[in-house]
Amino acid sequence: MHAQRVIADLRELAARTSTDDGAQRLAWGPVWRDAREWFKGKVGEIGLRIETDSAGNNWVTLPGRSAKTVIIGSHLDSVPNGGWLDGALGVVAALEALRMNVSPPPPVTLKLVDWADEEGARFGRSLLGSSAAAGSLKVDEVRELKDRHGTTLVEALSENGVTLDRMLDSHLELKAIDARAYLELHIEQGPVLESMQKPTAVVLGTFGVERNTLRFTGQAAHSGSTPIAMRRDAFLAAAQTSLECREIARRHSKPGAGVVCTVGVVNVEPKIVTAVPGVCEISLDQRALDAEVLAAMFRDAHAAADRAAGDNNVAVEWRPIWRIEPRLFDASLVRLCEEAVREETGDAPRLPSGPLHDAAEMVPHMPVVMMFAYSSNGLSHCKEEDTPGAHLETTIRAYLRLVEKTIGHVANAQPV
Ligand SMILES: [Zn+2]
């Protein structure tokens, strides 16, 4: 019954905020505000109210017999033409957890959070609200951001009552909470659970990322007159490195601890059919849950690029784009999550998360765990995004169990 009510609410939200092309809850825009208005009504029905922090994150507090707090939630914003479950599942399931605990008051305080602008779909900065609350947002790095219509982030924020220079105040507000756990239910957005034919998984943490540009420099030359042995072909060095990176990912992957390497951008110069490429730039994105494995993959990629450069008589240079360390979830909460998933499904698969989530921003500040729901065909950020009904119900039931277990765990924890 609880799970069915969550699904009915999700359908209602989707009907209200989607077009034939999918969900349109783009952060800071009118449809997103309407989704939040709808949610405010749902919260009002159980006698609670929304409070907005300095970063535009919405909070609902259900006071318990203790100030020790369990935070539950996700995000209501979507990408344009997005799916009905990405983000919304975690918020609406959290609402059901509040409904179940309204009376009698729970032994610990429950706070629901709807993070603002998780997707970063409009201004290119993901996890905006949660990174502000975590204190990791660098406001000067986002000050000049514009959307494709030329509206600045600062303007879009102010339309929503948020001042960029005050966003980090939300960090003080978060620190004032006696937070003992953060729980987030989210759709997997990938094909792994489907391939295992499992509805639900325990998430172990979010991948660390090493993202770099590699620039290979050889010599542009005439394609007709330059013998193969005398070429300094920058593209071939890049191609050889790319193939090696696939082997590096294979070599470092273990069952249950997959890693990935992706070359997503390839640019050659002079880009002429009759010229040997003198310059080739590729992007390399490497991800792993284990920091040592990620460091080893990075070293291996360097060695592979040096070897490919030597083989092709070209030079190679590395330029960092971005990096983040792996964010591992809390061992005790992972255990509770396993219990909840196993009790509901008979099994508890454990997965890392490839995408980042708001939960990753909470890891330095409190114990965190996430639960994943099965993604049909591994699809997300599109209108086809779905979880089969029976799997969705099972997952929601497992999540509600996790919330109850966590409330008990936090209530009974000895003071540290
Ligand atoms: Zn999401």
Residue 6: HSE in the Cβ half-sphere, 13 Å Cα cutoff: 29
Distance 79 CA to ligand 1 centre (A): 9
Strand partners, 319: 213
Separation between Cα atoms, residue 308 and residue 109, nearest integer Å: 57
CA of 357 to the centre of ligand 1 (A): 7
In the prediction, which pLDDT does 104 show?
A: 94
Q: Quick one: how many helices (H) and strands (E) in the chain?
A: 13, 18
What is the model's pLDDT at position 415? 62
Would you state the pLDDT for residue 112?
Answer: 98
Q: b/e for 169-181, b at 16 or more Cβ within 10 A? A: ebbebbeebebbb
Going from the Cα of 92 to the center of ligand 1, the distance in angstroms, rounded, reads: 13
Taking the centre of ligand 1 as the mean of its atom positions, its distance from the CA of residue 318, in whole angstroms, is 31
For ligand 1, the distance from its centroid to the CA atom of residue 56, given in whole angstroms, is 17
**CA 117 / ligand 1 centre spacing (Å):** 10
Give the E-state strand segments of 156-305 in sequence order. 179-187, 200-206, 208-217, 221-222, 260-262, 266-269, 275-276, 279-288
**DSSP states of 373-404:** E--GGG--SSTT----HHHHHHHHHHHHHHHH
Report CA(214)–ligand 1 centroid distance (Å). 30
Distance 236 CA to ligand 1 centre (A): 38
83 vs 127: CA distance, rounded Å: 18
Helix (H, G, I), strand (E, B) or coil at 176: coil
| Residue 206 alpha carbon to ligand 1 centre in Å | 13
Q: Report the separation in Å between the CA atom of 307 and the middle of ligand 1, taken as the mean of its atom positions.
A: 39
The per-residue pLDDT for 414 is 72
Distance 241 CA to ligand 1 centre (A): 32
Residue 202, CB-side half-sphere exposure with 13 Å CA sphere: 28
Residue 343 is predicted with a pLDDT of: 98
CA atoms 97, 99, 102, 104: torsion sign = negative
Residue 66 Cα to ligand 1 midpoint, Å, equals 31
Beta strands in 76-168 (DSSP E): 109-115
Please give the pLDDT value at position 323.
87
Q: What is the pLDDT of residue 416?
A: 54
Residues of the chain with pLDDT under 50: none
248: buried, middle or exposed (CB in 10 Å: 19+, 13-18, 0-12)? buried
Residue 276 Cα to ligand 1 midpoint, Å, equals: 43
Q: What is the pTM of this model?
A: 0.90
